[in-house]
Amino acid sequence: MLSFGKTYSKIFSAHFLFSRVLFPIAVLAAGCSFTRPALADGDVALQEAAQRLAERVAAISGLHGALRLEWHPDAKWPEGESEHWQKILRDEFEKRALNLTEDAGAGVLHVFAVETPTQVVLTAKTRISGLDEVRVIAVARALLPPGSLPVAPVRLERQMIYESPDRILDAFIFGTGAEGGLAILLYRNFEIVALRVDSKGAVKQSVSLNPVNLKPSRDPRAEMTPRGSVVSVELPGKSCEFSWESPAEVKCHTEKPAATGKSTWRGTTLLTSPCDGSSWKLVRSESEPNTRDVLQVVPDGALRESSAAVLSEFPGPIVGTNGEQNPSSALVVAQNLRTGNYEIYKIKLACGN
């Protein structure tokens, strides 16, 4: 009898980090570098890979005495990710009674990590009696935790509140306190799906818009807006409505061609300063899909957009902003070029630096 492994849908589950308790802490930490917590499942795969390599190295015959570990991480890895790998590797080597030292005169154990399109290949190389001994293992990249990502210091308060391997099209925050949560519109397996997640990150409801014969689209534009008990979804050439109470009753209609060019698309996103009530607008560059975006917050009406700008670098292209619900905050959706995941950030202006 066959026992089958994970399916696609099981492997790529979303990870929700939304928490009202965590948000104030993050606000205090604004200005410092932002590091994503590692995922437990991914660390297990990393640890197993380190164990396999350490076992193979420990089994090399003639390997005696102290060794100096020289670590050569993949050139693309950020420092935090590299250090995390090195620590786990070092721990595993030491568990197998390898005598690691910093002594410059000791024999060298080189360990290399290289990313290929699907794997991280770990290679250990050392020299014994004039001959190179090489041990190589590989681990699927998809099983590993996404790398920690350095982000430039910001003068905006911001926190990542949700991430997903699926393309996030839009999001809005609803309710407050325990009743509150996040509504997310995403493109999953060529279907447009609306999710309602609670403040603890659990998906409470999922509504597919495909039963109304929505065609798959390469156009990433989409907007979702709450209108009382109804949620309206604007897509290129289409307008849809549904309600969380009766999710089976999704209604869509085709917009007239004349209307599609203009649009109902959101205009400039404005934030109100909590200090003096002045308006600031969000400006993003016309990004290509493989560049990091810098979000610029400039005084509304400023003659030169670079004057008095507040800049915040995102880990990839910004695909949308939504500031319609709250004058003091906005949501920014960006793709993380390191992990490929789509991330939702909540941003807010703060007084001073």
Partner 1 sequence: MKFTRLSWLAATNAAIVALACLGAQAAPPRYGGTLHIKLRASSFSLDPREWAPGSLSSAASEKLASLVYDRLVTLDDYARFQPALATEWTHDATSRNWQFKLRSAVRFSDGSMLTPADAVAALQSTLGKGFEVTAAENGIAIRAAHSTPDLLEQLASGRNFIFRRLLAGTLLGTGPFFVTESVAAAPSEANPSAIKPARIKFQANEGAWSGRPFVDFVEVILGEPPLRQLLDLQVGKADIAEIAPDLVRKGRQEGLRIWNSAPQTLVALRFDDTLAAPASDQIREALWLALDRDTMANVLLQREAQPADSLLPQWLSGYAFLFESPMNLQRARELRAAFPAGVPGATQPLRLRVDAPGDLFKLMGERVAVNARQANLLVQVALPVSGNNSAASAGGLHLFAWHYDSLSPHSELEDFVKQLLDARDLPGNATDPEQLFAQERRLLEERRILPLVLLPEYAGIRANVHNWNASPWGDWRLADVWLDSEDPMTSKAPTSPPKNNPTARNPGARP
Query: Taking CB under 8 A as the criterion, which residues in 11-40 touch partner 1?
Result: 12, 33
Count of Cβ atoms closer than 10 Å to residue 316 Cβ: 23
Beta carbons of 122 and 138 less than 8 angstroms apart = yes
Task: Indicate whether 165 belongs to the interface with partner 1 (CB under 8 A).
Answer: yes
Examine residue 206 and tell whether it contacts partner 1 (CB under 8 A): no
AA identity, residue 38: A
How many chain residues touch partner 1 (CB under 8 A)?
72
Nearer to partner 1, 80 or 201 (CB): 80
Contacting range for partner 1; rule: CB under 8 A; set: 16-24, 58-66, 287-295, 323-331 = 287-295
Residue 313 binds partner 1, judged by CB under 8 A: yes
Q: Applying CB under 8 A, does 306 fall inside the site for partner 1? A: yes
User: Do 66 and 100 touch, CB atoms closer than 8 A?
Assistant: yes
Q: Is-contact 59 18, C-beta < 8 A?
A: no
Q: Which is nearer to partner 1, 90 or 141 (CB)?
A: 141
Rule CB under 8 A: choose which of 288, 301, 351, 353 binds partner 1. 288
* CA 67 – CA 326 distance, rounded (Å): 58
Q: What is the C-alpha to C-alpha distance for residues 68 and 105, in angstroms, rounded to an integer? A: 8
* The one among 102, 104, 179, 219 contacting partner 1 by CB under 8 A: 219
Residues 117-156 that bind partner 1 (CB under 8 A): 117-121, 123, 125, 134-138, 140-142, 150, 152-153
33 Cβ neighbours under 8 A, 6+ residues apart = 150, 151, 153
Residue (71 or 174) nearer to partner 1, CB = 71
Q: Is 228 in the site for partner 1 (CB under 8 A)?
A: no
User: Which one of residues 5, 37, 105, 352 is an interface residue with partner 1 (CB under 8 A)?
Assistant: 5
Q: Is 279 in the site for partner 1 (CB under 8 A)?
A: no
**In the complex, minimum distance from the CB of residue 110 to partner 1, in angstroms, rounded to a whole number:** 10
Binding to partner 1 (CB under 8 A): which residues in 245-274?
A: 257, 260-261, 265, 268
Question: Which range touches partner 1 (CB under 8 A), out of 37-45, 61-69, 94-102, 334-342?
Answer: 334-342
Structure tokens given for 234: 């604007």
Q: Nearest Cα to 193, choosing from 219, 174, 173, 167?
A: 167
Angle formed at CA 36 by CA 75 and CA 167, multiple of 5 degrees: 90
**Cα separation, 14 vs 80, whole angstroms:** 23
**Which one among 70, 79, 91, 249 touches partner 1, defined by CB under 8 A?**
79
- Alpha-carbon distances, residue 80 vs 27, 46, 68, 84, 116 (angstroms): 22, 15, 21, 6, 20
Residue 147 vs 181, nearer CB to partner 1: 147
Is 308 a residue that touches partner 1 (CB under 8 A)? no
Pairing of strands 279-284, 270-272: antiparallel
Rounded Cα gap, residues 185 and 180, in angstroms? 17
Q: Which of 25, 305, 308, 325 binds partner 1 (CB under 8 A)?
A: 305
